[in-house]
Amino acid sequence: MRITELFEKGEFVVTAEVGPPKGVEIDHLIKDAHEFLKTRVHALNVTDNQSSVMRTGSLATCKVLKDEGLLPIFQITCRDRNRIALQSDVLSAALLGIENLLLLTGDYTTLGDHPQAKPVFDLDSVSLIHAVKCLEQGFDLAGNAVDGKPPKFAKGAVVSPCSDSVDVQLAKMEAKVKAGCEYFQTQGVFEPDKFMEFMEKAKQFGVPVQLGLIIPKNVGMCRYMNGNVAGVHVPDDMIEELKADKEKTKAGDTGVEICARLIKECKDYCQGIHIMSLGWENRIPEILDMAGIAPVAK
């Protein structure tokens, strides 16, 4: 199933995220995946060497999750492959029955565990979306015909609604839509007013947007994001809320309440949510209940 079919049905689409291991022992990830089957998550993003840290490949992990009965979203970055390899991986995804893509430029290699690695960036996220659109139309970026029936995907991308450069983000969003993007997941949002203001302008594009959520675990995590994650800002009053009851914060309850409140405030301006916090599978139903999100029809 393509995730765009869920948006078309009017579902409030809930996705979460898993990261492949740095190795081939994948039993724990499969166990975590089965925990997601018990929650109200429609699909799972599989990260692609997230933060430029070398791990098992996203595509292979997507196939494992698909075989376990989940709906994977294949994240693809432009950092590690040229246009030949990117197009090849997209066709390989179609061959393996992976129909959902999230197309990204990717973090720079100096941020990861192989800082000496040579980055590729032959394409960026916009041109990668265009490349996938070309494959769907039956030809590659060089104009060569694709053998047989062309593949079909749900093509997603990312946007940062709380960035200081709102006009730049809107321009990027428009370029991605024109290239063929069919849905968006946002960076983590902690400022609902900024998100709603952004969405008032972004609704002109007529493309579903999922609110990106990062469950704030503690004050240190929030301060780190404020200093190091572009487009993400945790307000001071939210940090004070985490400080107020240390035991409650340690148990994760404060972060869960903040997350539910953000969904409640923003849900009329988005078509779903994307939860980027790993290890919180068992709290997702609680967050959705607190936010007033109806159960997923299965």
What is the reported pTM? 0.95
Residue 298 lies in a domain: no
Strands (E), the chain: 13-18, 43-46, 72-77, 100-104, 154-159, 183-188, 209-213, 272-275
Domain that holds residue 118: 3-290
State how far the Cα of 287 lies from the Cα of 85, in Å rounded to an integer: 39
pLDDT given for residue 87 in this prediction: 98
Question: Is 248 part of any domain?
Answer: yes
Distances (CA, A) of 58 to 20, 21, 50, 98: 7, 10, 10, 11
Q: List the single range of 171-185, 189-203, 268-282 with lowest mean pLDDT.
A: 268-282
Looking at the DSSP assignment, which residues form a beta bridge with residue 274? 15, 212
Looking at the 3D structure of the chain, how many domains does it have?
1
Distance CA 45, CA 139 (A): 27
89 is a domain residue: yes
What mean pLDDT, rounded, does the chain reach?
94
At 28, which CATH number? Answer: 3.20.20.220
Q: Over the stretch 70-119, which tens digit does the pLDDT of each residue have?
A: 999 999 999 999 999 999 999 999 999 999 999 999 989 998 999 999 99
Tell whether 297 is covered by a domain.
Answer: no
Token readout for 27 is: 């039993």
